Amino acid sequence: MALGRRLRRSRLERNDTMAVFAQRIGVSEQTVRAMERGLPTVQIGTWLEALWVLNELEPLDHLLKKRESLLDLARRADSARQRQRASRRGK
């Protein structure tokens, strides 16, 4: 719901009517209304389009940075344990 309120505030700061904003992002006024209410039925692509129109995509950059998966972390930890055991046997 907070994201919907922020969307509405941003739209009004731009002096866009619901109809104009809906046209800019390529959806119906009903979809914009659903977004502003915070309904979970709106597709993520629609949200991204709205954020792009509002020039607010940059805050999402940190979400798209490459990170090591949990599986990769587990494999690396397992590999480190195996190397330690092998070196101990040699002493």
Res 62: pLDDT: 76
Q: Which domains does the chain have, with CATH numbers?
A: 2-65 (1.10.260.40)
What is the C-alpha separation between 88 and 75, in angstroms, rounded? 20
CA distance 11 to 53: 10
**Confidence check: pLDDT of 4 > 80:** yes
Rounded Cα distance between 31 and 24, Å, is 12
Look at residue 77 and tell me whether its pLDDT is greater than 60: yes
The rounded distance, in Å, linking the Cα atoms of 86 and 52 is: 53
Cβ atoms of residues 18 and 32 within 8 Å: yes
What DSSP element (H or E) covers 28? none
Higher pLDDT, 72 or 8: 8
Which tens digits make up the pLDDT trace of 6-65? Answer: 999 999 999 999 999 999 999 999 999 999 999 999 999 999 999 999 988 887 777 777
| Location of structure tokens 């002096």 | 15
With a threshold of 0.75, does the pTM exceed it?
Answer: no
Length of the chain (residues): 91
Average pLDDT rounded to a whole number, residues 64-76: 81
Predicted confidence at residue 66, as pLDDT, reads 77
The pLDDT value given to residue 87: 56
